Structure formats: structure tokens, C-alpha cells
Structure 1
Amino acid sequence: MNPAKSLLLLLTALLAGCAVISEEACQAGLWYERGLQDGARGRGQSLVYDIARQCREYGVRVDTEAWLRGHEEGVAYFCTPENGYRQGRLGNSYEGVCTGPGADLFLAEYHRGLADYQVEMEYLQLARRYDDLRRQLIAVNAALASAGEEEQIRALQLHRSALRRELDLLDLQLRGFGFVGFSRFY
């Protein structure tokens, strides 16, 4: 296949991935069902304008009233406190679709879940750095065992000391999460 044709296929695939809705979905209609799904996913009402614009390019008119009815019902499924926590815990963004008396409960649980997600991400980042430093320390110790020149030995010892200090600091940070077992092994 020639390079120009490959590039054209790649661009077509990328642009298709950016489409709000496929031509087949526009042709199928099912606007109430589509609105129900979009609402249950927490998507905002402004999405219907993007859908309408995309479908207009395919020569299809969107029944926005049916989509909005479905969306309203879908949002009711989305805006529960349990789902608020789940959305936050997954690190998902929130488009502000919840209104009414349940919105405050949803938001409180969303923020609680998001805080838990952020703590977990911070912990995982520290744990990955800890593991990386341990691997580096093992490599430095192996290099020290075979080092022959005094200058090389001093440089490796300095590097080992720096790694140990950073590991000690990470150990303290990881213990702050309530986990044990990150004690000094070197």
C-alpha cells in the first residue's frame, strides 16, 4: 500500500474515532434510548447539540425531545449517592448533570470517592518509585561488588547513599498510608 493511501486511512480512522455518533446510530434513530444511555453515563444535555450537528451531516434529523426525555430518566439512574462514590472512586469527571434534592448527596459521595481515588493514585506513584529505587540500589550494589578503581567505588557509594536516603523518605511516606513492609532492606 502506498504511503499516501496509508495516511488517508489512518486519518479517516482517527476522525471516525472523534465522531460523537456514527452514521448507523443516526439512521437507527432510537433517540429516547440514546438519551437514556447518555444520561445514565452522566453526560450533559449539551451533548444533544453535538449529536444533532453530526447527524445533520448524515442527512438525519434528531428527535431532541425524545432524547431529552430519555436523558432525564437516565440522569435519575446516574445521580445516586452510590454511583457518585463509584464515579469518584474511578476518577471519572463529573459534568454537573445532577439537580434537585439528590444532587447534594451525589456530590458528597462523588467527592469522597474522588478523594479515595487520589489517595490511591498517590500511593501507587510512591510505591512505583520505591520499587524503581530498590532495583537501582540492587544494581549499584552489584556494580560495587565488581568495582576495582577507588574513584568508581566512591562514586557508587555516594550513589548508594543517595538512593538509601530517598528510599528512607519514601518508606516514611508509604507508612503514612498505613502500610507496613517498606522497611529498609539494604
Structure 2
Amino acid sequence: MSTKLCVSLLLVTCIVNGCAVISEQDCQAGLWYERGMQDGARGRAQSLVYEIARECQSYGIHADSEAWLRGHEEGVEQFCTAENGFYQGRRGHRYAGVCIGPTADVFLDNYQRGLAEYRVEQRHRKLHWRRDQLVRELHLVHRALESADSDRQRRVLYFQRSRLTWALRSLDTELHRYGLFGPGDITPGFYPPVFFSSGLFYW
């Protein structure tokens, strides 16, 4: 069985088992070098070998830690690239600090760049979610005003409308930092006249 096929089979097993440290079946299967390479390529810490050895020991099976460590070292080389650094950061994945030597700086620089973009995107999504919520609340207040039957009730609703409108305008100002179409289209200092017009967004 080829190394690539072994690693693929281990990955499938990981998905099926919910990526637990290791199952009894995997302890029995061995493939310690291949498993170490897979874990290294996923950026998992070297200390994982102690958890694997302890888990297998509970099943009465001896784990070949040395073979796992050799595979892990090779897998880490695949993990610690500039491209993968950005990929891991851009998806908000945690970094276990497995890279060493010159590749560590290259990986970390790109990881931090990707992570910064990920955080901006997450903030952008939260702002949009909050904006949708405010729009719905403002719509409900608008509808309630149409059917209000007392001055006191209208005063309360007018106050709520003013508060929601102010919050919505403030949020739109913050959203503008990301441009019209999201984090990839930042246009600081430019406010399209129609984009923030009261006729478009507010009641």
C-alpha cells in the first residue's frame, strides 16, 4: 500500500470518527509513520504523540512513537509553507507553533496576513447581521406608528425610531470602511451619494 493511499485512508477514518485522538482500530492498524505525516501536515503539535501513546496503551497496544515522529517531521514540512500559512489564517484556523527554522517566519507572516483578512471578514459579517436586525426593528416601529392610538404611545415609538435610525446610520458609516461589496472593496473617504441616502435605507 502506498504512503499517499495510507494517508488518505487515515483522513477518511478521522472524518468518520470525528477526529478523536485515536481509536482502538487505528491503534491496531499501526501505520505510525503515515499517521505522523498526516498529523504533521495538518499542523498538529508534536506533543500529540504522547496522547496517542497513552490512548493506545489503554487498549493494551504499543504505539511506535519514533515512527510517528519521523512521519510528523515530514508532514510539518508540507504544512509550513507560505501558501498554507495564508490558507490557515484566512480560514481562522488555530496555529500550534509547529514550524521551526526559516520556514517558521515565512509561515507566520503569511498566517498573520490571512488571519487579519479573516477577522475583517468576520467583523463585516457581524455588522451586516446587526444591520439586518436593526432594519427589521425599524420596520416594526414604523408599522406600529401607523396604528398608534395615543400621543404617549407615539412619543415612545418616535423615540425608538430615532434611536434605531441613529444606530443604523452609525453602523452604515462603519460598514463603509469595507466598501460597497465587502472587505475586498475598501474605499476609505468615499461616500457614494445614493448608498447612504435616507430614501434608500431609512424611514
| 1:170 equivalent in alignment to 2:132 | no
What amino acid is the match of 1:34? Answer: R
Normalised to the residue count of structure 1, the TM-score between the two structures is: 0.88
What does residue range 124-135 of structure 1 map to in structure 2 within 5 Å? 124-135=125-136
Deviation at 1:100, TM superposition (A): 1.6
Aligned letter for 1:155? V
User: Which stretch of structure 1 is more off in the superposition, 91-100 or 172-181?
Assistant: 172-181
Deviation string, structure 1 residues 137-156 (Cα, Å, up to 9, x no partner): 01110111111111111101
8 Å CA contact retained: 1:32, 1:66: yes
Equivalent residues of 1:39, 1:78 under 8 A apart: yes
Rounded Cα–Cα distance in structure 2 between residues aligned with 1:164 and 1:24: 60
Work out the CA distance in 1 between the residues paired with 2:196 and 2:138.
Answer: 14
Matches within 5 A, 1:124-163: 124-163=125-164
Q: What is the CA–CA distance in structure 1 between the aligned matches of 2:140 and 2:47, rounded to whole Å? A: 55
Match of 2:192 in 1: none
My pick for the range that moved more, 17-26 or 53-62, is 17-26
Unpaired runs of 5+ residues, structure 2, are: 1-16, 182-194
The root-mean-square deviation of aligned C-alpha atoms, in Å, is: 1.5
Q: What TM-score results when the alignment is normalised by the length of structure 2?
A: 0.81
Give how far 1:34 is off. Answer: 0.5
Letter paired with 1:171: D
Deviation at 1:18, TM superposition (A): 8.8
* Counterpart residue number, 1:34: 35
Stretches (4+) displaced over 2 A: 16-19, 179-184
C-alpha displacement of 1:177: 1.4
Aligned to 2:90: 89
Q: How many corresponding residue pairs?
A: 171
Q: Kindly provide the amino acid, as one letter, of the partner of residue 115 in structure 2.
A: L
Inter-partner Cα distance in structure 2 for 1:99 and 1:147? 68
